[in-house]
Amino acid sequence: MAVPIAVLDCDLLLYGRGHRTLDRFKLEDVTDEYLVSTYGFPRQFIYYLVDLLGATLSRPTQRSRAISPETQILAALGFYTSGSFQTRMGDAIGISQASMSRCVANVTEALVERASQFIHFPEDEATVQTLKNDFYGLAGMPGVLGVVDCTHVAIKAPNAEDLSYVNRKGLHSLNCLMVCDSRGALLSAETHWPGSLPDCTVLEQAALTSQFETELHKDGWLLGDSSFLLRTWLMTPLHIPETPAEYRYNMAHSATHNVIERTFRTIRSRFRCLDGSKGTLQYSPEKSSHIILACCVLHNISLEHGLDVWSSPATGHMEQPEEEYEQMESVDSEACRVRQELLLTHFS
């Protein structure tokens, strides 16, 4: 005899058809302190996200108990900032763990759809000049349009045969290429690269390289560490400085480049789903990449709302794989000339 299969709504199973738990949590009923401690952000920031994402998260549904955009956003923020689907988080807003997972997926995709709105290089000349001036004010390095580096985020093993995500530490990860400004706001974020790729290979294949090699940014450059090759648009430190000018250049380069290292620490501190303290991201590489990018979007939005980028304590359990730096600076003679001119003009 055939046995009928019932499709159960997890929220109905937990709370019953007549209990409107999804409507019980109201932002106005709790304090900002509670919202920050539980979801990582204050009330006005959450209201902004509801306005920004509400239409996308209110897509037509067959279910009479569709979860509101506000509740979906709270669920996602709870996961991003705690790194956990613990029942406590779902209980706070009245949804099951399965519904929490769906909310995170919905909000993540809504944020990824808006990534280009919040993560981009400035285009008008006045803003570009302000960007350079702000960098120059840090340590006297002229012409800087951004600082670039890679950071690894741990993910679960896609499958036993795929070794492309195994990094130099023997861990599965995504290698994420990012550029930030002097405040720590992200100007570019490519979060999908397999962890086995060294930083220099990621940059060679990245959209960022295509963007700069089209000469859209003729009057400035990025700063990168020794894991990258010197280019006309990417200034790296000197491997063995010998003159006072070269030492001054390296010191200014290091002090300026440190901004992105602080930015990585802040993002991991604010979004604990990325820092490894709750384990790896338990998603496919594609979905994990989208979660990282969604956190990057939220990071930039938080800066726009005056939430101090350096306010959170430094954390992070996912160590960076060590790179073997190979000095190949002479490959690009024009890049060497540009750096030498920079040394003579500004550091001699």
> What is the C-alpha to C-alpha distance for residues 119 and 300, in angstroms, rounded to an integer?
7
Q: How far is CA 339 from CA 134, 152, 178, 250, in A?
A: 21, 29, 22, 11
Which pLDDT score, from 0 to 100, does residue 91 have? 64
pLDDT band, very low/low/confident/very high, at 310 (cuts 50, 70, 90): low
pLDDT confidence tier of residue 313, bands split at 50, 70 and 90: very low
Q: How far, in whole angstroms, is CA 40 from its chain's centroid?
A: 16
What order do you get walking across the sheet with 173-180 strand by strand? Answer: 186-194, 173-180, 144-154, 221-223, 234-235
CA separation for the pair 100, 201 (Å, rounded): 37
Note the pLDDT of residue 166.
92
Is 138 exposed, middle or buried, given 0-12, 13-18 or 19+ CB atoms closer than 10 A? middle
pTM, 2 dp:
0.87
Number of H helices, E strands in the chain: 13, 5
Q: What digits encode the pLDDT tens for the residues 117-126?
A: 999 999 899 9
* Residue 15: pLDDT band with limits 50, 70, 90: very low
Q: Is the pLDDT score of 5 beyond 80? A: no
Q: State the pLDDT confidence band at 319, using cuts at 50, 70 and 90.
A: very low
* pLDDT tens column, 249-289: 999 999 999 999 999 999 999 999 998 777 789 899 999 99
List, for residues 56-84, the tens digit of each pLDDT value: 998 665 454 578 899 999 999 999 998 87
Report the alpha-carbon distance of residue 266 to residue 277 in Å, rounded: 15
Report the pLDDT value the prediction gives residue 32, as an integer from 0 to 100.
85
